[in-house]
A and B are shown apart, each in its own frame.
Chain A
Amino acid sequence: MKHIFLALLGLLTLSVQAQNNFKVPKYEKFKLKNGLTVYLMEQHEVPLINVSAVFDAGSIHDGEKYGLASLTADALTFGTQKYTKEQIEEITDYVGANLNTGAGKESANIGMSFAVKDQDKMLDILQQVLMYPVFNETEYAKHKQRTLLELTQQKESPRAVIGNYFNQLVFDKHPYATPSGGTRPTVEKIGTADVKEFYRTNYTTDRAAIAVVGDFNTAAMKKKITSMFGGWKTAPGRMIKRSAPDLSFDKSRVLLVNKGDARETTFLIGGRGVDYNNPDYVPILVVNTILGGRFTSWLNDALRVNSGLTYGAGSRFSRLKHGGTFYISTFTKNSTTVPAIDMALGVLDSLHRTGLNEEILASAKAYVKGDFPPEYESAGALARLLTDMFIYGFDESYINTFQSKVDGLTVAQANDIIKRYFPREHLQFVLIGKADEIRDQVKKYGAVTERDIKEPGF
């Protein structure tokens, strides 16, 4: 298969060389006296303003209370000193603005988008939500009830939960293992007192940033943001030393999650990836594009195009601050589970055995370069880029040197990247499907642990 594939590629015209190099638009970064980092970037295409605020208040701080960071972020909008939850929603909806809060593993994020003419109104809400949330008991109780139901309902979709099972399997004792959304037993126990304490401890100005991107004048916005947040006093931030997760596996393991009514098996196969700031990430991205990062990738070509086993197959490196994972993901009907897994493993193995050549590398380079500028086209995306820089500790050189790093990658280097970063053995498997129909066949991949999808947690 691969041989034919490479021969065909030789016929292609690889003419795209002179592309405009995408750079991060000009922005201003400064720190308020209380330590809050602020980014301002003007973008005048449409009369909108986008805000992205981040705090070092992700689920990595959950401890045993899985879901605490997430519930706290949700509850920021459940009333403030000045507004009730209902008023916040009325005001926001009336002007067609968006206000979202949430927490991932590394951070809590507050996002806003509003029209220039509504900025005073919406920035006031932002200030209230960040500085003066009251965590109304009644609203919290309703939200908790909805959350508990969602935690059960999300298991109706394997795709919605498979990542949680995988993280639990591979990160094991590390805080990255726990589900950010919580589990029923842990969420049951979390009350407003927990949420208030989490807010007090983790929403601190010295470990937070606000990015504002859109149609404004930088000097005027700087004044505004400084007067709004300059006087904000919080507890001092906690500097918690985190260790990197240990993702060196000495044997393959299979977590088989039974879903009694499954019509297909959904699976992830993977292992150790890289942390967010790994200096080799750009070449890794280029190589992964070939393996499983685009339509013509080897995985999609084998499992979808050649064999019709699935609607889609791919692979990715999922990066967190202190470590990351690599995984192959796809799904196939119950009866073709093993052929699909075998084929995916065969493709990964062929990457190691055969490596890459000049043509395929050139194609992947063109593809990732073409894909890059649209990722940062909207003001909202740029605002998130700026706060990502804060959370993960990188700067615009990542963006500005992206193209030259792609261009500079040689075949020899790419083949070295495969050896160093792409897992080959002791792979970790999560399969969600009808256990009765696949249990015996999947033993060959490693020691099987079995669970039922309806059991709480992951």
Chain B
Amino acid sequence: MMLRRLVLGVLLAVGIHSTYAQSNPNDVKTFTLPNGMKFLVLEDHSIPTANMYLFWKVGARNEVHGITGLSHFFEHMMFNGSRNYGPKQFDRVMEANGGSNNAYTTENVTVYTDWFQKDALETIFKLESDRIANLSIDSAMVESERGVVLSERSTGLENSNYRVISEVVKSVAFQEHPYMFPVIGFESDIKSWTQQDLENYFKTYYSPNNATVVVVGDVTVDQVRRLANQYMAPIPARGLPPKVRTVEPEQNGERRVTTYKDITTPNLMLAYHTPETGHADYYALDLLSSLLTSGNSSRLVKSLVMDTTIAARIFTNFPEGFDPNLFYIYAIAGDGVSAPELEKAILAQLDKVIKEGVTDTELQKVKNQKLMEFYRTMETINGKANSLGTYEVFFGDYRKLYEAPKLYEKVTPADIQRVAAKYFTERNRTVGYLLPEKGK
């Protein structure tokens, strides 16, 4: 995920529901404008603030060689001027009205997030609708923004070994599908995309029928509907973007990749192909991810970081995907531990799950954790907006957010064992090593 600006602790948690959570699916009101732009609105009057999250179905998976990183670059350009608000005005008007914003781009989506005091709702609609209807791509702004994104790429690689290793692992795990591209893009592409590329991208992907807008906070559904009709409805719909055609074929053999950096101990990444987010195995895999690395009592953290000092740190990442994506396991070796030793220790734990399964208690633990994650997410208006939008676009219906408990609850120890055996295979595996520079 690439952010428009540097912040800590962006919430991307997707939660589940229980019978005693405060909001329920009927509190969320939805409507779709004639141009296809869909709205989800949840009133929440706990603080005098509201937000607007705009989910666009465009991300790195829509890119090809030559324009890698363009989705993310475009996210930046959306702040750089439109017909009624010249360069810099989007931010200046928003901030002068007590609002602030950010945006993020992933392999699948580009999401724009606005936070504001409730009285600024109309201003936000004016700003958002103007850039969706009449974005102007100013060539001077393109050039300075190019420098910004090159700096963003560079600072990521400078400060995060995870970035370094995940980029090379992705590029090998995917041989055909565009999930192989880093969201930030290749350096040479960042330096060379053109005005025409940007204009085409806007026309192709920023049609109102490719967006879902979520508004949560101290506003009313009627206000949102009236302003949506006034500001968003007049924007003409274009055709829906072309489908991503490329399908990654089944991996038929382990792939290995190594890279070097001036680091202290080896970093390791394992990546396994897994199905798209809407797939029936999603819930079992998501719980498996928690079983492995959520909390100090989880399988991998306990065995490799707490009971022994084989690893300094370990975590899993199971990102969303409209298309089949990867299940990542990332670890940093402990002092004096080699990459092959670390790899062996992780694989032994995975094998244990495959051979012996997990206990009912262990599974109940991660189901309980999911419920708590849900509460923590639903405590803030930003958590609510992000979860509703994420479920709507990835699961096809925000109501799935509220149905998730049943679906998580249905997962059995046998399901966990089955998905572990099905996906954690040698042939389906990519192993990445990030090693200390030789001779150092």
Q: Give chain A's interface residues, CB within 8 Å of chain B.
A: 8-9, 11-16, 18-20, 22, 45-48, 85-86, 89-90, 92-97, 113-115, 142, 145-146, 148-150, 152-153, 156-160, 260-264, 266, 294-296, 301, 304-312, 331-333, 362-363, 366-367, 369-371, 373-374, 377-379
Within 305-347 of B, Cβ neighbours of A (below 8 Å) are at: 305-306, 309, 312, 332, 334-335
Chain B residue contacts of A93, Cβ below 8 A: 294-298, 365, 369
| Interface assignment of B1: CB less than 8 Å from any CB of chain A | no
Are A366 and B158 CB-contacts (below 8 A) given A46-B378, A92-B295, A331-B151? no
Give CA–CA (A279, B146) in the complex, Å.
Answer: 42
Residue from A94, A114, A311 with most neighbouring chain B CB atoms (10 Å): A311
Residues of B within 8 A of A113 (CB): 372, 376
CB-CB under 8 A from A311, the residues of chain B are 5-6, 148-149, 151-152, 155
Would you call B309 and A146 a contact (CB within 8 A)? yes
Contact of B403 with A by CB under 8 A:
no
Q: Which residue of B lies closest to A96 (CB)?
A: B372
B147 interface hit (Cβ, 8 Å): yes
Cβ of A304: which chain B residues have Cβ within 8 Å of it? 144, 148
What is the 8 Å Cβ interface bit string for chain B, positions 193-231, against chain A (1 contact, 0 not)?
A: 000000000000000000000000000000000000000
Closest to A378 in B: B379
- Chain B residue numbers with a CB within 8 Å of A47 are 20, 375
Partner of A296 from B86, B95, B372 at Cβ < 8 Å: B95
Residue of B nearest to A4 (CB): B88
**Chain B: which residue is nearest A115 at the CB level?**
B372
Interface: B116 (CB within 8 A): yes
A158 pairs with B159, CB closer than 8 A:
yes
8 closest cross-chain pairs (CB), A and B: A308-B147, A370-B98, A96-B372, A20-B48, A93-B295, A363-B96, A308-B144, A96-B369
Residues of A contacting B152 with CB < 8 Å? 311
| Contact residues of B between 110 and 124, Cβ < 8 Å to A | 115-120, 123
Would you give 18 A-B contacts (Cβ < 8 Å), ordered by A? A8-B89, A15-B119, A46-B375, A48-B372, A89-B297, A90-B297, A96-B370, A96-B373, A142-B309, A148-B335, A149-B334, A152-B264, A295-B91, A307-B147, A366-B95, A371-B98, A373-B49, A378-B376
Closest B residue, CB atoms, query A333:
B154
8 Å CB contact of B143 from A145, A152, A308:
A308
A260–B372 CA distance with the chains assembled, in angstroms: 44
CB–CB A367/B312 < 8 A: no
CA distance A183 to B372 in the complex (A): 36
B427 to chain A, nearest CB (A): 33
Question: In the bound complex, what is the Cα–Cα distance between A296 and B100 (angstroms)?
Answer: 10
**Which residues of chain A have C-beta atoms less than 8 A from B91's C-beta?**
295-296
- The distance in angstroms between the C-alpha atoms of A179 and B175, with both chains bound, is 46
Residue in B closest to A363 when the chains form the complex, CB atoms: B96
Tell me the residues in window 360-388 of chain B with beta carbons closer than 8 Å to chain A beta carbons. 361, 364-365, 368-373, 375-376, 378-382
Nearest Cβ distance between residue A407 and chain B, in whole angstroms? 12
The smallest beta-carbon distance between A41 and chain B, in angstroms, is 14
B22 and A13 form a contact (CB under 8 A): no
B151 and A373 form a contact (CB under 8 A): no
Q: Which residues of A contact B262 (CB under 8 A)?
A: 156, 260-261
Cβ contacts B114-148/A at 8 Å (1 or 0 each):
01111110010000000000000000000111111
Does B13 count as interface, using CB distance less than 8 angstroms?
no
A142 and B334 alpha carbons, distance in the complex (Å): 11
* Mask of B159-180 contacts with A, CB within 8 angstroms, 1/0: 1110000000000000000000
Q: Are A149 and B376 touching (Cβ within 8 A)?
A: no
Cα(A152)–Cα(B368), bound, Å: 36
Size of the B side of the interface (Cβ < 8 Å), in residues, is 81
Contacts from B to A (Cβ < 8 Å)? 5-6, 20-22, 46-49, 86, 88-89, 91-93, 95-101, 115-120, 123, 143-152, 154-155, 157-161, 261-265, 294-298, 302, 305-306, 309, 312, 332, 334-335, 361, 364-365, 368-373, 375-376, 378-382, 437
Residues of B within 8 A of A8 (CB): 86, 88-89, 92
Contact of B95 among A150, A263, A312, A367 (CB under 8 A): A367
Please determine whether A146 and B305 come into contact, CB atoms closer than 8 angstroms. yes
Q: Known contacts A149-B312, A331-B158; can you find 16 more A-B pairs with CB under 8 A? A: A15-B119, A46-B376, A48-B379, A93-B369, A94-B364, A95-B372, A96-B369, A115-B375, A142-B309, A149-B334, A157-B158, A158-B158, A308-B145, A311-B6, A331-B155, A370-B99
A156 touches B305 (CB 8 A): no
Distance to closest chain A CB from B9 (angstroms) = 12
Q: Given the complex, which residues of B lie within 8 Å of A295, measured CB to CB?
A: 5, 91, 95, 100-101
Chain B residues contacting A156 (CB-CB under 8 Å) are 161, 261-264
Min CB–CB distance B386 → chain A (angstroms):
14
Closest Cβ–Cβ distance, residue B293 to chain A (whole Å): 11
What B residues does A11 contact at CB under 8 A?
89
- How far does the Cβ of A354 sit from chain B's closest Cβ, in whole Å? 18
**How long is the Cα–Cα vector from A142 to B97 in the complex, in angstroms?**
52
Residues in A neighbouring B154, C-beta threshold 8 A:
263-264, 333
Contact of A374 (CB < 8 Å), options: B47, B101, B149: B47
B22 to chain A, nearest CB (A): 6
**A369 pairs with B95, CB closer than 8 A:** no
B residues near A19, Cβ cutoff 8 Å: 48, 98, 117, 119
In the complex, are the beta carbons of B49 and A370 less than 8 A apart?
A: yes
How far is it, in angstroms, between the C-alpha of A156 and the C-alpha of B161 when the chains are bound? Answer: 8
Query: What residues on A are CB-neighbors of B364 within 8 Å?
Result: 94
User: Which residues does chain A contribute within 8 Å of B118, judged by CB atoms?
Assistant: 20
Q: Which A residues are CB-close (under 8 A) to B373?
A: 96
> In chain B, what residue has the closest Cβ to A159?
B159
Chain B contacts of A20 at CB under 8 A?
48, 118
**Are B144 and A379 neighbours in the complex by a CB distance under 8 Å?**
no
Q: How far is the CA of A157 from the CA of B332 in the complex (A)?
A: 14
Q: Which of B95, B117, B160 contacts A363 (CB 8 A)?
A: B95
Name the distance in Å between A167's Cβ and chain B's nearest Cβ: 19
* A377 lies within 8 A of B93 (CB): no
Instruction: Choose among B46, B92, B157, B335 the residue with the greatest number of A CB atoms under 10 Å from its CB.
Output: B92
- B-side contacts of A374, CB under 8 Å: 47, 49, 115, 380-382
- 8 Å CB contact of A370 from B6, B22, B100, B144: B100
Known: A94-B368, A149-B335. Is A13-B93 also a contact (CB below 8 A)? Answer: yes
| Residue pair A153, B265 in contact (C-beta under 8 Å) | yes
**CA–CA, A11 and B96, complex, Å:** 11
B49 near A12: Cβ-Cβ < 8 Å: no
Q: Name the residue among B117, B146, B265, B334 with the largest chain A CB count within 10 angstroms.
A: B117
A308, B149: Cα distance in complex, Å? 8
Distance in angstroms between the alpha carbons of A15 and B121 in the assembled complex: 12
The one of B96, B151, B161 in contact with A12, judged by C-beta atoms closer than 8 angstroms, is B96
**CA–CA, A48 and B332, complex, Å:** 34
